[in-house]
Amino acid sequence: MGHTDTIDGKKIAAEVRAKVAEGVKALQASKGVTPGLAVILVGTDPASQVYVRSKGKAAGECGLNSWQFDYDEDVDPKVVFDKIAELNADENVHGILVQLPLPKQFDPDQVIEAIHPDKDVDGFHPVNMGRLLSGLPGLRPCTPSGCMELIDHTNTRLEGAEAVVVGRSNIVGKPVAVMLLERNCTVTICHSRTEELPHVIGRADIVIAAVGRPEFIEGEWIKPGATVIDVGMNRKENGKLCGDVGFEAASGRAAHITPVPGGVGPMTIAFLLKNTLQAAEQLSGAR
Ligand code: GUN
């Protein structure tokens, strides 16, 4: 079996962030504008608190302004909608992110649609999803963009390749499938009801695993020489983090594979900052 390359997401994310920091300086020099990211967190979910804190920290390190707005678990949705309206109108704010999941009194689709599409740095607004599907410029979801950047850092050929996406969420599965199609892959989207999943995975030159189930995709299913991007972030019974792919067996077969943690995770935050810079450039007329 050939040599397996473990894709270093931390290093590649640091390169993306360094480019963002350069772009921030250029925008300050040309327009006197510092990109600003506003993050809204409702409730006390520990994982969400960790994510939101690391987003704020990374923003500061790249020279962006960032603000965090915290609300109690039982907040009246009107309070949050009023804050979103205020941030939509605030010219110092170029990116607005509402951390998901939200408590049950919220309809997440209504919250996403309340954010101005040009400040929707998650790329979740139907306008941005529609732009992506239509091949138009716009803000694109961060994790799928991060997956594509990781693939581009390997020598994987996309044109004509068989790409299999496992998972069909609006956050990862659907948008990454569109991005792979845009790059001329032959794309198959699988999910929990797919029959013969091992057979479908076995055809794939590129696997994107985004089902959210620990080691759901067995390493033995992977085609020798494939590129495997594991978006999963699951906790095993013993408390250890693991992905959606059985890493041990898969890394004996794949040509390139992302680790969990240290693969896709750091890329999501890097692309959030890149999207905030892009939003600031567009809103200030620099681009
Ligand atoms: N919760 C988990 N991932 C994400 C993300 O990418 N964006 C937002 N807003 N919430 C999340």
The DSSP secondary structure of the chain, one letter per residue, reads: --PPEEP-HHHHHHHHHHHHHHHHHHHHHHH----EEEEEEES--HHHHHHHHHHHHHHHHTT-EEEEEEE-TT--HHHHHHHHHHHHH-TT--EEEE-SS--TTS-HHHHHHHS-GGG-TT--SHHHHHHHHHT--S---HHHHHHHHHHHHTT---TT-EEEEE---TTTHHHHHHHHHHTT-EEEEE-TT-TTHHHHHHT-SEEEE-S-STT-B-GGGSPTT-EEEE---EE-TTS-EE-SB-HHHHHTT-SEE--SSSSSHHHHHHHHHHHHHHHHHHHTT--
Q: Is the peptide bond before 259 cis (omega within 30 degrees of 0)?
A: no
The verdict on the CB of residue 99 being under 6 Å from ligand 1 is yes
Q: How far is the CA of 1 from the centre of ligand 1 (A)?
A: 37
When pLDDT is averaged across residues 98-110 and rounded to a whole number, the result is: 97
Q: Looking at ligand 1, which atom is closest to the CA of residue 98? A: 9
- Convert 32-49 into a string of H (helix), E (strand) and C (coil): CCCCEEEEEEECCCHHHH
Contacts 24+ apart (CB under 8 A), 127-130: 129/170, 129/174, 129/175
pLDDT of residue 251: 97
Q: Can you give the pLDDT at residue 3?
A: 81
pLDDT of residue 79: 98
Is the pLDDT reported for residue 129 higher than 70? yes
pLDDT score, position 2: 63
Distance 97 CA to ligand 1 centre (A): 8
Rounded to 10°, the helix 265-283/46-61 angle is 50
CA 268 to ligand 1 center in whole angstroms: 9
Residue of minimum CA distance from atom 1 in ligand 1: 100
Condensed to tens digits (0 to 9), the pLDDT of residues 6-20 reads: 999 999 999 999 999
- For residue 214, count other CB atoms closer than 10 A to its CB: 19
Name the percent of the chain lying above pLDDT 90. Answer: 97
148-179: pLDDT as tens digits: 999 999 989 999 999 999 999 999 999 999 99
Q: Which residues pair with 164 in a beta bridge?
A: 188, 207
Span from the CA of 100 to the centroid of ligand 1 (angstroms): 5
Q: Is the CB of 142 under 6 A from ligand 1?
A: yes
Residue 1 has pLDDT above 60, yes or no: no
Exactly one of 122, 205, 230, 244 is catalytic; name it. 122
Radius of gyration for the alpha carbons in the chain, expressed in angstroms and rounded: 19
Pairing mode, strands 5-6 and 256-257: parallel
Beta bridge partners of 227: 206, 256
Ligand 1 atom having least distance to the Cα of 122: 7
CA angle, corner 69, sides to 41 and 107, nearest 5?
45
Which atom of ligand 1 is the closest one to the Cα of 48?
1
Which residue bears the tokens 């915290």?
70
| Annotated catalytic residue 109 | no
Confidence of residue 58 (pLDDT cuts 50, 70, 90): very high
- C-alpha–C-alpha distance, residues 173 and 24, integer Å: 30
pLDDT of residue 204 exceeding 70, the answer is yes
DSSP β-bridge partners for residue 240: none
Contacts of 25 (CB under 8 A, 6+ apart): 63
Q: What average pLDDT does the segment 262-277 reach? A: 98
User: Does the annotation mark 236 as catalytic?
Assistant: no
